[in-house]
Structure 1
Amino acid sequence: MLMQIHIRDFVTIEDIHLHLQSGTIMVTGETGAGKSIFIEAIECALGERASSDLIRSGKDKAEISLCFRITKFPHVIDYLKQLDLYDDHDECIIRRVITSDGRSRSYINGTPSTLQQVKELGDFLFHLHGQHAQQVLLKNDQQREMLDRFADHIALANQVKSAALEWKSITQTIQILRDKNLARAQRQDYLQFQLNELNTLDLKQNEWESLEAEQKKLSHVDTLTQKIRQIIHSIHEAEQENIIAKLHEMNKIIFSISHLEPHAKEWAAQLDAASIQLNDLAAELNSYLEKTEIDPERLSIVEARVSQIFNLSRKYKITPESLFAFHSQLNDELIALQKSDETLNSLIEKQKLIEKNYEDQANKLSKSREKFANKLEKEITQTMRSLSLPHGEFKILLEKNDEKFPIHGREKIIFQIKTNPDQTFQALSKVISGGELSRLSLSLHLALAHRTSIPTLIFDEVDTGLSGAHAKRVGKLLQKLGETYQVFCITHQAQVAALGHHHLLVEKYFIENHTHTRLRLLSLDERTKEIARMLGGETITQKTMDHAKEVLVDGLG
């Protein structure tokens, strides 16, 4: 509930700090006193649009602070915890500052917050039932939500919605896969054709590189053997100039100077090592020559294989080196496409399970709606007839929804009414007047009192068009509503105002041509005077005062 409200430099309010209580609080004042400013300040604090025009003349900023007690409202605490704004207290403070440049800042429990966060939090804490808010009752979505709340099956309705959305999502996915089915089949056929060619080729990893090297060797075997024989000849077969003989001569020279130079032995050892390595090389080259021979048949086989690989790589417009990886890539793609068929079949099976779940939940929801629609019809009809609609009758039409798996269940909820016995039931928007809509709004909120989770309600002139006994009945209902909610009711009816648990007076006054608006809670004597003003207008006589006392005593019981 709203415990405190502090308003400073907002429109005509200079500085007001109110401590409020639970129950029904009647808000009265002369026309133009500023009752709407009180509502506007609360709405502004809770995230409604604000501009610099709302700042009191001559001031550079306006400020509104609201303090709510949230102990009994776990959903509010949960939301604050989600935002990491819960401070383990039983209070929640929302504050908004509007500056002269048209900007504003909002705070939740002292922490800067976005307007969206404040609005979402405000939806948990406060609801205004004014002329505009009552128009919401004409919308089928709101009517459906009210019936579901009255039946206390919001969770079931959410399960139906979740199943419907899941069905729509998986159905869309299945349709996309089916639309691609033909193209996928064509792609699979083409991939299989390509893979058949590549499988026939049976290319091994690094085979191209090996064949290329072997082809080069076989094509130049004459030149290769001739050059190798020249090397072997130069090492030790040439009669005059072979390298081994030269090394032997150099070794003799070094030996001849070994008594003069100590390092000569090391030099001789290096020459010996070089001679050994050259002999080893010559032996290895001879062995190579023995194994290497002209093989036209092998060359023909290699060239045919090279040509086969090259032609296929050219067909697919890739290099021969990439052909092996290309083969693997195509194979992976074909496997993925084959798995997509499995995915489609799996999705179809899952879709059937979702449909079964939807049917089960939607059937439960339909039965519950039918049961509680009858109860709500009777309750609203009874309340309406106590509010100057003696022949009023309320009906809830459950009209079949022909959509496939509709997200809000198998029926559309349509509130209908007739206010005269010779009328037929029609939708609210076609027959109901503004005053009738106000009374229906009050009736519905009374019926939903035990289901709501919003602690503070404001009714703006819900008694419009009523007087006397009918107005008193409205006051009685608001008084009853105050046992469950904290209820603010802006009224011009004395009979209604007298039935409040508390009374808040809005006054306008002037100081040096400056307009001021103040709000104050009235004592019992002050309430009597205000009731008398509402009854008697400008001239208040003792008779008016006595009447006001009677009305107030009667209202307070």
Structure 2
Amino acid sequence: MLKTLKIENLAIIEDLNLEFEPGMTALTGQTGAGKSLLIDSLKLLFGARADQDLIRFQKSQATIVGVFTNLGTKLKQILENYQIKSEELVIKRIMSRDNKNQIQINQTTITLQDLRKIAFYLGDIHEQHDVSKLLDQNLQLSLIDQIDRLEVEPLINDFVIAKESYLSAKKKYTQALEKKAVKEKEIKALKEEIDELEKAKLDAEELTTLNETIEKLENQEKIVSSVSNAYEILEDMYQKQSLYDAAMSLKKVKDYDVIYEKAVDTILNSHYELEALRDELSQSLEVFSFHSSEYLNELQERDFFLKNLEKNYNKTINELIVYLKSIKEEVLMIEDYDGYVLNLKKDQDRLFKETLDLGIKLREKREKLSKRLEHEIITELKLLDLEKVRFQIAFDEQMDNFFEDGIDLVTFLISLNEGEPLRALYKTASGGELSRFMLALKIVFSRHQRINLVVFDEIDMGISGVAASKVAHRMKELSKDIQVLSITHLAQVAAIANNHYSITKVVKEGRTFTEVSNLETESRVRAIAEMLSGERISSYAIEHAKALLEK
């Protein structure tokens, strides 16, 4: 339940602290006094998106803090994921003009998605426009699912995964059919490319090797002259044995000083290295003797051919090798396209059946839940002065259509008067009847969600007379099990509540402020009398208000 609500700088609310008790609390006041801002505050605590327009004029941020107690078992389990084991839950929302918004639970920062997950088990808020949503078939279906979310959600998830696989297979099959004719025309051109690229005998390293060899051959005269000169010098040194003789001379005295010993090793190593280098230079010169100018021309022609190939295809040699492989596969696919398309069709049909089977399984679960919902709604509506009501949930057979969360379209059918046929809810119910239907739903789902708080924003709209009294008594009965906060214009609802807050707005020094008063006996009588007769309170209205309170 909601224990305290603190609001700072939210529109015309500057600083407000409210304490709430168990049972039923009525919130009354003139239009524009700030009742809707209390709803906005609670919505923010329950995961609504931040709206900078709600921040009070000339203030940089707005803060809403709610303290909740008597937490349910499921909610406590969720909170353990955030290392929260307290018996109280403190939710704090800060909206800032610089978009530095914050969400905290018990001083732990969380995401908006996390907050919504927590709030689902915390309470439920009915807004004025929620009644019109009742006419939406998608909402009607979601209401059935909420009867047993723990069982329905896994079925929906399985269906969605299967549906996505089916739609992917269907897309591939459709695209394959569309491409078949086009690909058959392309196959001739592809085969010509394959023939050209295969004849080219492409190698990833060839261009690099070609360029290096061509550069050597083009500079053959310079290379041969320089290398030959170096070879002759080394050969002369080798023939004279200069280094070797020096080493042999030092070897005779190496035992007298380590320097001589090291010198022997160094000179001998140099001698052998120069000998090896001389042989390598000789071999490199021999290479040039085998390559004629015709060979250079062949290499240059090959280099030109490969570079021209890259230019024509706008791809590198490496990319052409990959491309050749891909178009070969594409040709194989086209040549065996009937088999390929047939396999895609089989995949599509198999996945369609799997998805449909999951959709039917989900429908069967929903049909069972719908019977429970029908019974519980009828029971509640009869307590709300609709004794002759009949209510039925009709499923539309849509075996070949996959929707976002199943194969089902449902319609809420209702008959409010004896002898009248069942008709769609949107064709039959008046505003007051829709309000009572919504109240019945909220009562039913408060039990299934196992929440401790329900907030009603004028759910009694369009109701009067005996129906108003029954609505008030049903809300009071509900408040014995869970906390009920009700914004109302009905005197019967305000009078039956355990607690009564009056919301007014005042102007001080050119600024508007919302003020909230906890009404006691006399002030409460006058507030209810004003609800009955308007600003000019009659003695009859006073007596009527007292009578309502005494009940």
CA distance in 1, matches of 2:426, 2:17: 41
The one-letter code sitting in structure 2 at the alignment partner of 1:493 is L
- After superposition, residues 101-116 of structure 1 pair within 5 angstroms as 105-109=101-105, 110=107
**Residues 121/150 of structure 1: CA separation in 2 closer, same or farther (3 Å cut):** closer
Say which SS state the counterpart of residue 401 (structure 1) adopts: coil
**Aligned partners of 2:507, 2:200: CA distance in 1, in Å?**
103
Q: Match of 2:165?
A: 166
Aligned mates of 2:548, 2:493 — CA distance in 1:
12
> What stretches of structure 1 of length at least 5 have no aligned partner?
221-226, 236-242, 248-272, 552-557
Picking from 147, 171, 184, the partner of 2:144 is 147
Q: 1:333 aligns with which of 326, 334, 354?
A: 326
Higher mean C-alpha deviation, range 353-362 or range 437-446: 353-362
Tell me the SS of whatever aligns to 2:449: coil
- 2:459 pairs with 1:462: yes
Q: Match for residue 517 of structure 1? A: 515
Q: Matches of 1:59 and 1:199 in 2, distance apart?
A: 74
The Cα shift of 1:142 comes to 0.5
1:366 to 335, 359, 363: 363
Residue aligned with 2:354, SS: helix
Distance 1:200 1:419 in 2: 84
CA contact (8 A) 2:166 2:352 kept: yes
* 8 A contact 2:25–2:499 mirrored in 1: yes
Q: How does 1:130-145 map to 2 (within 5 A)?
A: 130-145=127-142
- Structure 2 residue 13 is matched with structure 1 residue 16: no
Question: What is the aligned partner in structure 2 of residue 93 from structure 1?
Answer: 90
Residue pair 1:69, 1:91 contacting (<8 A) in 2 also: yes
Equivalent-residue separation in structure 1 for 2:499 and 2:378 (angstroms):
30
| In structure 2, distance between residues paired with 1:63 and 1:305 | 82
1:520-556 deviation digits (Å, cap 9, x = unpaired): 2758x987786677678553799657634540xxxxx
Which letter maps to 2:68? F
Structure 1 match to 2:428: 431
- Equivalent-residue separation in structure 1 for 2:165 and 2:542 (angstroms): 71
CA offsets 1:359-409 (integer angstroms, 9 cap, x no match): 221112222333333443343234334323344332322122365333333
Aligned 1:109-128 pairs, distance under 5 A: 109=105, 110=107, 125-128=122-125
CA deviation after TM superposition for structure 1 residue 436, in Å: 1.2
1: CA distance, partners of 2:94 / 2:119: 16
What are the within-5 Å matches in structure 2 for residues 51-450 of structure 1?
A: 55=56, 63-69=63-69, 71-72=71-72, 74=74, 78=78, 87-96=84-93, 105-109=101-105, 110=107, 125-150=122-147, 152=149, 153-155=151-153, 156-181=155-180, 190-196=189-195, 313=306, 316=309, 328-334=321-327, 337=330, 350-401=347-398, 403-421=400-418, 423-450=420-447
CA contact (8 A) 1:393 1:419 kept: yes
Query: Cα 1:9–1:206, aligned 2, differ >3 Å: closer, same or farther?
Result: closer
Q: Distance in 2 between matches of 1:305 and 1:528?
A: 111
Question: Aligned AA for 1:333?
Answer: S
Equivalence map 1:471-486=2 (5 Å): 471-486=468-483
How far apart in 1 are the matches of 2:410 and 2:311? 65
Distance, in Å, in 2 between the alignment partners of 1:314 and 1:54 is 67
**Taking structure 1 as reference, are residues 121 and 211 closer, same or farther at Cα in structure 2, changes over 3 Å only?**
closer
Change (3 A) 1:304 1:177: farther
Specify the code of the residue in structure 2 equivalent to 1:539.
S
Structure 2: which 5+ runs fail to align?
Answer: 241-270
Q: Distance in 1 between matches of 2:209 and 2:60?
A: 83
Change (3 A) 1:390 1:323: closer
Cα distance in structure 2, aligned partners of 1:166 and 1:76? 36
Q: Which amino acid letter does the alignment assign opposite residue 325 of structure 2?
A: D
What does the per-residue CA deviation read over 1:232-252, in whole Å, with 9 as the maximum and x for residues that have no partner? xx99xxxxxxx99xx9xxxxx
What root-mean-square deviation, in Å, do the aligned CA atoms of Structure 1 and Structure 2 show? 5.6
Q: CA deviation at 1:130?
A: 3.1
Contact 2:458 2:487 in 1 (8 A): yes
TM-score, scaled relative to structure 1: 0.66
Q: 1:188·1:334 contact (CA, 8 Å) conserved in 2?
A: no
After TM superposition, give the deviation of residue 425 of structure 1 in Å.
3.3
- Greater mean deviation of Cα atoms: 380-389 or 183-192: 183-192
Percent identity, aligned pairs only?
Answer: 23
User: Is 1:381–1:392's contact at 8 Å kept on the other side of the alignment?
Assistant: yes
Structure 1 residues 115 and 315: alpha-carbon distance in aligned structure 2, compared to 1, 3 A threshold: closer
2:4–2:66 CA contact under 8 A, matched in 1: yes
- Distance of 1:326 and 1:446 partners within structure 2: 67
1:539 aligns with 2:535: no
Q: Kindly tell me the number of residue pairs found equivalent between the two proteins.
A: 490
Aligned partner of 1:354: which letter?
A: L
1:439 positional shift: 0.6
Cα distance in 2 between the residues matched to 1:55 and 1:113: 25
CA contact under 8 A between 1:96 and 1:104: conserved in structure 2?
Answer: no
| 1:300 Cα deviation after fit | 13
Q: CA deviation at 1:440?
A: 0.8
2:490 aligned to which of 487, 490, 493: 493
Structure 2-normalised TM-score? 0.67
